[in-house]
Amino acid sequence: QVQLVESGGGLVQAGDSLRLSCAASGRTFSSYAMGWFRQAPGKEREFVAAISRSGGAHYADSVQGRFTISRINAENTAYLQMNSLKPEDTAVYYCAATNSVRWTGLYERVYAYDYWGQGTQVTVSS
């Protein structure tokens, strides 16, 4: 089992950058695929980015070219670098993890992940 704690959210202006962190407990972080999702008020939780055990990255079309997901296994941490932020990026951001072999074809799906953090608020003002 793994516990996830997000940090790094805040209030920024459009065009600014933020880096979110997701710290994981346990000694098997490298065996987990990681994902970032977000949820705006009144909307469903949506996929943002994901990274495989080997470092392969996937992005939602809405953030492609602006966001970068990464991981440092020695630090048990995954990151989401967010550049050129827009007001529509405002949401609670969640990190998630899974060691399921099903993840490869399902990384955009909420149900593909077994563990979730508590979320961190990102607010982008215009």
Pair 45, 57: CB distance under 8 Å:
no
Mean pLDDT of 49-65: 97
Q: What is the pLDDT of residue 100?
A: 87
Tell me how far CA of residue 70 lies from CA of 3, 56, 100, in angstroms: 18, 9, 19
Q: What is the pLDDT of residue 91?
A: 98
Top pLDDT among 1 and 116 is at 116
Q: What is the pLDDT of residue 102?
A: 79
Q: What is the pLDDT of residue 37?
A: 98
Nearest to 4 by CA among 79, 91, 110: 79
CA gap 37, 73 in Å, rounded: 20
pLDDT tens-digit map of 8-48 = 999 999 999 999 999 999 779 999 999 999 999 999 999 99
Q: What is the pLDDT of residue 115?
A: 96
CA gap 51, 42 in Å, rounded: 27
pLDDT tens-digit map of 87-125 = 999 999 999 999 988 788 899 999 999 999 999 999 999
Collapse the DSSP code of 32 into the 3-class scheme (helix H, G, I; strand E, B; otherwise coil) and give the result: coil
Q: What is the pLDDT of residue 105?
A: 85
CA gap 38, 45 in Å, rounded: 5
